[in-house]
Structure 1
């Protein structure tokens, strides 16, 4: 049996690290990408970093991969979140697309967020979908200036969801036999989540009220990794264009 090659961004920590470990334990070859502690060191907030990702992965794989798992993201109230979560993710998917064409069973999956259904800034979303990075970065800075910095992260994920659903059914993706999907996690037990709000009881209660997860709060990281691995694996032959909520029932609670 052929060993599949997966490219995982954001692989140094959190969901990305868990996904890379899950795939490696299953016997896959995993190219880990991040700004530290990775096979490919690059900064996806910049055009040069995105080009470097493609060139390094191409060199490491001789130009053929089987799947892309785009996990890398930020939740800062700044334009860097726009540059990485939306433009960096799309550049990853589109930049590595030619390498997928050499696979017999190519797959691509990105990480979205439950928060995209909770709050968003229309200006940031619209600017992202215009595919004008500088305009989107400006919209993010303006949102932060109005005191809406927390809306930047969910806005980038909502824009990503809309882009992905449109792209997935086009000749370039579905027409080329490449399922393209996203997983939208709820709150899961990562080091970042613990340091940001889970360790503070008041903030934890506030977040759990805004994004209720009847099955568990926080959820297990391994469950997200397993779902990403399945969507990026050869078993997924008929699922595409989907935003799959792995959130302990939060989306069903908020949108019954």
Structure 2
């Protein structure tokens, strides 16, 4: 599959990893539908020009994501929806027991899992249904689904029970989904980023950011959103990448 002349749905596209991915795919000659809850998604689509459309949507809503998928299919014309890069998600921090021994809030835990894991499955199932209707390309390929996990799925830190569990679920879905959807010619991949320069990092104190940067073996800095976008582009264009989770983290192992 090539980026040029194909259409992709990007979730979490108003900023960070999703915004950078949309920019890269448009620069490569692709078309994109940007989906996000933020008002900023419309402004970002305008900056990208005629190759981009914005759809306001919640990844946990079947109706919202169906509308985004339908928009991408329409934008794709005869080619339909070629790929998805699912970047939408939330970070949450809460200990099982706080300093006073009070248990964590169950609703907050469920919200993290609902957005990060159930939301991922919602996007995947609706996009796959659309891709399965595409005419097969080289090797019978009809589409590619790229989900976003996290290194926290493998080495989560204290306070990350909800976040780590939700991202571990994304990892766990990758291989069975790839096996199931192979008969439709749809690939499934996941990227597990380390610590990246995204709006999620904006509330972290500077000294904490410096400590995180120092803990990366090489390069000793936070990842840049375009580095995520470059890997997503490589996954799109390399048909042998399937059923795998790729850590993109500079070698970091969280403590």
* Range into which the TM-score falls when normalised by the shorter chain: 0.7 to 0.9
For residue 118 of structure 2, what is the aligned residue in structure 1? 87
In 2: Cα distance, 1:11 partner to 1:28 partner: 15
- Are the equivalent residues in 2 in contact too, given 1:186–1:219 (CA < 8 A)? yes
Q: How does 1:103-182 map to 2 (within 5 A)?
A: 103=135, 104=137, 105=141, 106-119=143-156, 150-170=160-180, 173-182=181-190
The 1:60/1:26 distance shift into structure 2, 3 A limit, reads closer
TM-score computed with the length of structure 1 as normaliser: 0.76
- Are the equivalent residues in 1 in contact too, given 2:33–2:68 (CA < 8 A)? no
For residue 135 of structure 1, what is the aligned residue in structure 2? none
Shift of 1:174: 1.9
For residue 102 of structure 2, what is the aligned residue in structure 1? none
The 1:13/1:207 distance shift into structure 2, 3 A limit, reads same
Matched, 1:185 2:189: no
Partner of 1:223, secondary structure, is helix
The 1:76/1:164 distance shift into structure 2, 3 A limit, reads same
- Are the equivalent residues in 2 in contact too, given 1:31–1:57 (CA < 8 A)? yes
In 1: Cα distance, 2:111 partner to 2:62 partner: 12
Matched, 1:216 2:231: no
For residue 23 of structure 1, what is the aligned residue in structure 2? 25
Q: How does 1:11-90 map to 2 (within 5 A)?
A: 11-36=13-38, 37-38=41-42, 39-61=54-76, 64-77=80-93, 78=108, 79-90=110-121
For residue 244 of structure 1, what is the aligned residue in structure 2? 246
In 1: Cα distance, 2:33 partner to 2:70 partner: 13
TM-score computed with the length of structure 2 as normaliser: 0.76
For residue 200 of structure 1, what is the aligned residue in structure 2? 206
The 1:167/1:156 distance shift into structure 2, 3 A limit, reads same
In 1: Cα distance, 2:89 partner to 2:162 partner: 12
In 2: Cα distance, 1:60 partner to 1:46 partner: 21
Deviations 1:192-227 (A, max 9, x none): 31x132x420x2255457x63432321222111110
For residue 226 of structure 1, what is the aligned residue in structure 2? 230
Unaligned runs of 5+ in 1: 121-147
Shift of 1:178: 1.6
In 2: Cα distance, 1:241 partner to 1:118 partner: 21
User: How big is the alpha-carbon RMSD for the aligned residues of Structure 1 and Structure 2?
Assistant: 2.5
Partner of 1:196, secondary structure, is coil
* Length, aligned pairs only: 218
